[in-house]
Amino acid sequence: MQAELLRRSGDLQQAADVLTRLRGPATPHTAHALARLHLAGGDPAAAEQSLAPFPPELGTIRQRVDGGILCTLIAAERDQGAALHLLEDALLAAAPLGMRRPFLVEAAGLQTLLADRVEAGTAVAAFAVDLLRRMSGQHDRPLPASLVEALTEREQVVLRYLASTLSNAEIAAQLYLSVNTVKTHQRMIYRKLDAAGRRDAVSRAKQLGLL
């Protein structure tokens, strides 16, 4: 813990000194601390070596999550696809217990990757989106796991057009509807998605798998 506090404060050398003074065999906990230190120092290869004796899939749930996050950050330096796969494994391990803190303390390195994971799809979408909102300071308006009131077939069609660059008048022309009818469907979509506007509605629809 002392080494971790020093790392977060930017004192990498003193954090390294604390870790080198530890006695006894290495543990997943100390390996993770050392890997974080190497990552902070810009040496992902050394971080990977630190984790090698303790594969995430062999540890406790917390060790799987911590190790998975660190492996994600290491992989992100060379292979975005592999990083997203590792991040999904960490999310799957953490979601059943609502284990958010390991992700939030690494928000600076994970936020963009997590956004990409959500965009690409994840088996724990509600948990991942909640994490993303917390990282961006928007956790006061959580996203529901599913809609309380489903969109009608016509609203789903209008929603797909809202994701385009067409204006309401152009959408109306495409669907052979009046502009007022399109606006009515638009208001209902906003209400059901709890969206503040067109861009917010499209974003929330993607997060819910509606687009």
Higher pLDDT, 175 or 143: 175
Predicted local distance difference test score (pLDDT) of residue 142: 52
Q: What average pLDDT does this structure show over 177-195?
A: 89
Distance CA 3, CA 9 (A): 10
- pLDDT tens digit string along 26-46? 888 888 888 888 888 888 898
Distance CA 44, CA 38 (A): 6
Token pair of 27, please? 């543990």
Predicted local distance difference test score (pLDDT) of residue 211: 78
The Cβ of residue 139 has, within 10 Å, a number of other Cβ atoms equal to 15
Which of 72, 145, 90, 88 has the alpha carbon at shortest distance from 122? 88
Helix (H) or strand (E) holding 16: helix 12-20
User: What does the domain layout of the chain look like in residue ranges?
Assistant: 2-135, 153-207
- pLDDT tens digit string along 139-172? 545 555 555 577 888 898 899 899 888 899 999 9
Token pair of 192, please? 């059901």
- pLDDT tens digit string along 126-135? 888 888 888 8
Q: What average pLDDT does this structure show over 49-64?
A: 86
Give the pLDDT band (50/70/90) at residue 138. low
Predicted local distance difference test score (pLDDT) of residue 182: 93
Distance CA 100, CA 128 (A): 9
Rounded to a whole number, what is the largest CA-CA distance in the chain? 75
For residue 166, give Cα distances in angstroms to 21, 27, 44, 83, 173.
63, 57, 45, 35, 10
- pLDDT tens digit string along 73-126? 999 988 989 999 999 999 999 999 889 999 998 888 999 999 888 888 888 888
* pLDDT(72) > 90: yes
> Which CATH number describes the domain made up of 153-207?
1.10.10.10
**Residues 6 or more apart in contact with residue 172 via CB below 8 angstroms:** 178, 179, 181, 182
